[in-house]
Structure 1
Amino acid sequence: MQWFIPKSTARREVLVTQSLSEDGARLLLGSGDALFWQLIPWLPLFATELFAAGVMRNRGLARRVNPQALRSAVVWLGLVLAWHYL
């Protein structure tokens, strides 16, 4: 399988994403009910900032993308999602 980003970068991205997701889940699950409800309004703001930063970061990645590998990855993602939801 051809990667559209280097494997080392992909591994690092997956590990960072997994680590931050687990930390966020622990924070939300470990917080009390009152603190959880105080954090709720901030979550969409934080997600929007991450989305905007991701768009800017992806512009840099787009310069190095192998179009065939990207199409292949999109097809696999579609198949996985279809299998999961059907």
Structure 2
Amino acid sequence: MCGYVLTEASNRGESVLVNMKPKSHDVWAGSIYSRLSGNTYHATMTLKSSGKLHVEACAIGHFFCSGNDWTRVEEQRGQVITTSRQWSARS
């Protein structure tokens, strides 16, 4: 599975979640692209509840990790928009 970020200026999506594959029932692993750094990192995403997804990225041998919760919002004009909230970090 892949995930894309869309901007208001364009209907074209930029790939952010790349080659995500299931590890268990609610956990997927793959890569995440950081537009800020231009690098790709190991990532996991975990379904927390209906409409709530925790996405975490790790660097330097999966040692330094940080993530946030993505919340699905209602459809607007036929599109589903996802927002990010609640950054957390662990080392």
Which interval holds the TM-score relative to the shorter structure?
Answer: under 0.3
Answer 1 or 2: which has greater strand percent: 2
Higher relative contact order (CA 8 A, sep 6+): 1
Normalising by structure 1, we get a TM-score of 0.23
Answer 1 or 2: which has greater helix percent: 1
Normalising by structure 2, we get a TM-score of 0.23
